[in-house]
Every structure is written in C-alpha cells, then in structure tokens.
Chain A
Amino acid sequence: MAWHGRTGTRRRWIVGVLIGVMALGAGWAPAAQAADPIKIGFGMALTGALAGNGKAALMAMQMWAEDVNKKGGLLGRPVELVYYDDQTKPAAVPGIYTKLLDVDKVNFIVSGYGTNVIAPLMPIAVERNLVVMGLFGMANNEKLKYKNYFQIMPSGPNPFLGWSQGFFEVAAKQQPKPQTIALVGADAEYPHNALIGAREHAKHFGFKIVYDGKYPPSTVDYTPIIRAIKATNPDLVYVASYPPDSAGIIQAAHEVGLPAKMFGGGMVGLQFAALQTKLATKLNGVVNYEFYVPEPTVKFPGIDDFLARYQAQAEKAGVDPLGHYIPPFAYAYVQVLGQAVEATKSVDQKKVAEYIQANEFNTIVGKIRFAPNGEWAKSRVLMVQFQNIKGGDVAQFKKPGTRVLLYPEEWKSGKLIYPYTAAQK
C-alpha cells in the first residue's frame, strides 16, 4: 500500500507538474504572440541611382512604424520593418523578397521605390497570392491585372493618361490655343510609359506632334536635342525625364533659348531641393507635375506635422530637405496597410486585400480609394508652374508661391504665366 500510496502520490505529483506546465504554457502562449512583431518586408534603393528617393522613403516608413508602435502597434503587436538595399537594381529584387518571405518570415511585403523594382516583385507576389503595396510604380499592373496590388502614386486608374492629363488640360485652355507639340524622354521604363499617355492626349486635344524622340540615359549634353526640338518650332514641349536629364534639359533650354509656350510636364527631379536650389531662376516658367506642394489650397490632415518632423531629421540623414515628393506617400502606403490590418483584425492576405479593395483610407496625403487595377480610383497628379524663384535659397520652396498650382481646377492657387518665355524674363 505504502508503495501504491507512494506510487499514487508520485503519479499525482507528476500529473500536477504536467498540468502546471501546460497551464503556464497556455498562459504564456498569448503573451509570446503579443510580443511577436508584425513584420513588413521590403527592398529599398539605399544606394544606386534612385537612392536619394529610397532613403527618404525609408525614413518616412520608419516614422510611421514609430508612430504606430507608440500607440501600441497593430493588433497589439509591435510593427517591425525588415529591409535590404536593392541598390536600385531590379535583378536584386527576387532574391531579396525570397529571403524576406522564406527566411525572415515577414507578414507583409511592400515594394521598394520605382517602376523598375516593382516589376520583378510582381511575379513573386502573384505566385504566393500576397498583398503587395507599390511605391511609385508606373502602370506595373496593366498586363497582370493582379487583384492584390495597390499602388500609392496618384496617377489614377489609367496611369499612362493620368500622369500628363493636367499638362494637356492646362495647355488646351490657353489663348491662342497651342497647335503643335514636341515629345521627348529618356529611353527607359517610366518615360516610355509617360510618353504613351502624352501621345494619346496630343491626339485627343488636337495638338500636332512635330517631334517625338528618346535619348539614352547616359546622354551628357542635351543641347543638340533641344536645338533639334527648337528647329521644329513647337508650341508645347512635353518632357519625361529622370533627375540628371531634367537638369541637363533645363540648362540646355536656357542656353539655346527654347521658344516654347509651355515646357515641362513629366520631369522627375524638379520636386527635390537639390535641383530646385541649383537650377533656381532657370526653373521659372517650367510647368511640371507634383504630388504635393505647400500651397494654401492643398491641405491634408497630418501632413504639416509629418513634414515638420521629417524636415527636422532630413538634413542629418542626408536626404531631400523638403520631403514633398516621396516621403508623405511612403508614409501613406504603409498607413493604408496598417489601417487594413487594424480593420480586419487579421494578418490574412486575402482578408486584408479584400478590405483595401473595398474601402477608402484617410491618410496624410488625403483620402485614397483604389481602382480594381490597384491604382488610385481617381488621378490626382498636380500640375504646377515654377514662379517667383529668386536665388537658390531652399527656404523659399517650403512656402507657398514658388510652385503655383494650376491643376486640378478645384485646388488652383494661381495663374499660368504664358508663354514660358515670358516667365523667364
């Protein structure tokens, strides 16, 4: 009996310990899960040609993660950003995302900056049926029609057309109405797509195309191109270019004396302080796209606070001190993802994707609703004209008045100086 008793006591003791361990385990499990971060993975251009934009975007995303974590995270779990430098190389993208998904086990992926790095990400997202948030991709989903892709650049449901809509709308309203147009852009993905839209608009508005050319991205001197354009005597000159070409083209236009009535359109780089301050007065009269400008007619809840915090850190981080172009949108695209996770109370890809497809989001760049192809349901590409620039002081670009908003009509903040040559005087 004693043995039995002893055995019984031992058995009860073992069972008790086991139950205790299980109970503790059960108690610990939710606690461990609560501490597990929600990981958002991405590659970003931290070196290479587009690193200026990539670093600024990363800083904005880190600000969002910090803001979310201060408020307790998403679903009670902290947010962790897991990222690698894609070196602005599309070839690096598949390897980075495979590692993020298979090794780092991220919960969500978002894209790096730009069309060229989003393109190689798409097959991975499609194959695994993942939600993918795109950062400034130009028509990446036009052929795939992938339902879980959402892109934050406000070029609208038809990005080819939405991109240059404002330029042509503004031009068509001028008197006497312009008759001819020259189209020029770099021989690369974005300019190629932008020029497709520009050709369609030219046809729609009845502008005769008198020059339609592309140049290699390694071009050093743009004066022969501008002279060739000048020889065709166009009323309008639409340019789709990357930052170094934008600077070269504006300098060449200034030196050659381009007599166009409207000049600009899709020039990347003119949104950044680095080129604004150096090109300075040469920018006066150029009409170009923007996504945000500090004009009194453009106010979104939270953007002033965001920009104040961003600008305070920007110089030290060596990124664009203005932060008007990419950073608010980089903040917004993770903001959309975060709001969808909170609303669905889930990290399930399908549920989150369906929620983003069906709902409108309040972000620091305004209200966003996505079209079935993942682009903004309505284009909101702004068209501005550089005016009143005096010298190269960066402070003038932080205030209203140097980028006067011409389009869309409801946010118009000033009048176009027409023709371009009048604004140059």
Chain B
Amino acid sequence: MVSLDLLLNAIVAGILLGGFYAAVSLGISVSFGLLDIVNIAHPAFVILGSYTAYAMNRFAGLDPLLTGLLFTPVFYALGVMVYRLYYLGFERKGEESLRGLVFFFGTLFIVEVVLLLAYGVDYRMIEADYVGRSFHIGVVGIAFRLLLPCLVGLMITLALHLFLSRTFYGRAIKAVSQDSQALRLMGVNPVKIKRIAFALSIATASLAGALLILIGPVEPSIGREYIGRVFAIVVLGGMGSISGTLVAGIILGIAESLTSTFSGPSWAPAVSFGILLVVLAVRPAGLLGR
C-alpha cells in the first residue's frame, strides 16, 4: 500500500525539482524554441554560472543566489558576443544549420577546457548557511537546498513570461520567431531582436548555474548530463512556450520523484521519456505549444 506520507513528500520533491529543471531549460526554450538556434552549449553556460557562483562564494564569501543575480548582466553581455560571432560566422551566410551546430559544440568544449584550466577537475561545492537545512510542514520535509532553486526558477519563469508578453522587445522576440521578414517591414531589425533574445537565454543559464551548485557538486563537464533532459523539457512543454517549459519541468520532476520513491530510481529516465513520447503522439506541438 502506498504511504500518504511518502506520496506527499514525493510530489513536493518533484515540484521543487521541476522548478529547478524549468530554470535550467528556459534559456533553451528561448534560443531553440523561439530563435531556432540549437545551442547545445547551453549547459556549458549553466556550468560557467555555477563556477562563477563558486568563485565568488570562495573568494568573496558571496551567496550563490546573489552572485547569480549580480552576474546576470555580465552573462547577458557574453550572450551578445556569442550571438554576434554566430551571426557573422554562420547565420548571415545561411550556414547556421550544420556549421552552427559545430560552432556551439566547439563553444561547449572551449568553456569546459577553460574551466578545467582555471579550476582543475575536482568537484566543487559551495558553502551557505541554508544548504543542508530543512523544515517540515506536517509530514512533508522541505530542504532549502531544493526550495530556493525552485522559487528562483518560478520567478525567472514569471519574469520572462511577463517580458515576452508585455513589452515591445518581448513581443518582437515572439514575432521574429514567426516571421522575421514581416518584423523587418515593421521597421525592427530582426538581428538585434535575436541578439537580445539569445543574450537573455545565456543570462538565464548563468542564473540556473548558481542554482545548480546549490543542489549538488559540479565539475567542468557535468553540464553534458543535462543536454538531453533540457531539450526534452522544451519539446514536451511546447517549443518556445515559457509556461509550457515550467509545466513540463514540473511534470518530469514529479514523474522522476514518484518513480524513484515507488518503483525504483533506475526507471525514472524511462518514465520521463515515455511521458515525452506519449505527449508528442497526442500533441505533436507539445503541452502548451502552438
């Protein structure tokens, strides 16, 4: 018989995990879902964000969440530069499909090697008072290490959703994903809009990196573990749908958590990808995709 205590804990743990998954996947939702840029280097930028949080924590004693917020503009600028390179090298020449993929693959390696040279290969963790602490609401135990990433993930999702739906630049980003030529006729430079959107995706990746190092240790190549999962979440939620990404993240989080608790953790990936296949069979555009 299923224990109510375990069931509730598994669902809450799944929601917390899902919020974090959404935070990691939002950048891909923007770059891949809205801009059609297959940025497989996205997890590397997440890890770069983790190491920035680690460095600031170690050398300046800064809280990783604060570092994540403080460095968002820096990563935004980095995103602008990376997009500029990508645009000049590939997109402008219409060679973005295969060569663009190679470009991001190369970027992934470069980021990893830079981190290797700078920090070595050991696993890195951060110190914060709330890491390792938890509290209870009734029978449900909640660890701060998981709660904070979830809350920040929800806030990023809300902020991005509001930005894309309420602001001029947000609407322009949505428009560029549908018809960049029409956007140009409206007097807006689609390249500039894409640059802003891509830079935003990198900025969210860095913030997600600060959340990741709160949850567990990182090493330079650990980002690769997340490539399959983040693309699956974006596809499940619906390409370019921010709210869909959040919903998909939470569904996969709960599915993993329930499977780990009741059926053995080794089934968790099979269940997650099974859900993806079923949803795509019923709704090829994803849960909230159009």
Contacts and interface: CB of A to CB of B under 8 A. Distances in A.
Interface string A153-186: 0000000000000000000000000000000000
A60 to B, nearest CB: 15
A51 B121 contact: yes
A294 interface: no
B148 interface: no
B269 A52 contact: no
Interface of A: 46-49, 51-52, 54-55, 187, 213-221, 223-225, 227-228, 231, 243-244, 247-248, 251-252, 254-257, 269, 272, 274-275, 278-279, 282, 317-320, 392
A319 B121 CA distance: 7
Interface string B185-223: 000000000000000000000000000000111011110
Contacts of A228: 6, 260-262
Nearest to A187: B266
B221 A47 contact: yes
B217 A220 contact: no
A216 B125 CA distance: 21
A231 B4 CA distance: 11
Interface in B103-121: 112-113, 116, 119-121
A392 B13 contact: no
| Chain A CB within 10 A, most for which of B122, B124, B262 | B122
Given A215-B265, A243-B217, A251-B216, A221 B257 contact: yes
Nearest to A55: B121
Contacts of A224: 9-10, 13-14, 256-258, 260-261, 265
Given A51-B121, A214-B266, A227 B261 contact: yes
7 contacts: A48-B221, A221-B215, A224-B13, A224-B256, A228-B6, A318-B119, A319-B121
Given A52-B123, A251-B131, 16 more contacts: A47-B221, A48-B221, A51-B219, A52-B219, A215-B266, A219-B268, A221-B256, A224-B10, A224-B13, A224-B265, A225-B260, A228-B262, A244-B219, A255-B143, A278-B125, A278-B217
Given A213-B264, A228-B261, A278-B125, A220 B17 contact: yes
B34 to A, nearest CB: 26
A213 B266 contact: yes
B132 A231 contact: no
Contacts of A244: 123, 216-217, 219, 222
A413 to B, nearest CB: 27
Interface string B256-290: 11101110111011000000000000000000000
B266 A227 contact: no
Interface of B: 3, 5-6, 9-10, 13-14, 16-17, 20, 112-113, 116, 119-127, 131-134, 141, 143, 145-146, 215-217, 219-222, 225-226, 229, 256-258, 260-262, 264-266, 268-269
A278 B127 contact: yes
Given A220-B216, A255-B143, A215 B121 contact: no
A203 B219 CA distance: 38
A145 to B, nearest CB: 30
Contact of A255 (B113, B132, B260, B268): B132
A255 to B, nearest CB: 4
| Chain B CB within 10 A, most for which of A217, A221, A255, A275 | A221
| Chain A CB within 10 A, most for which of B5, B16, B125, B127 | B125
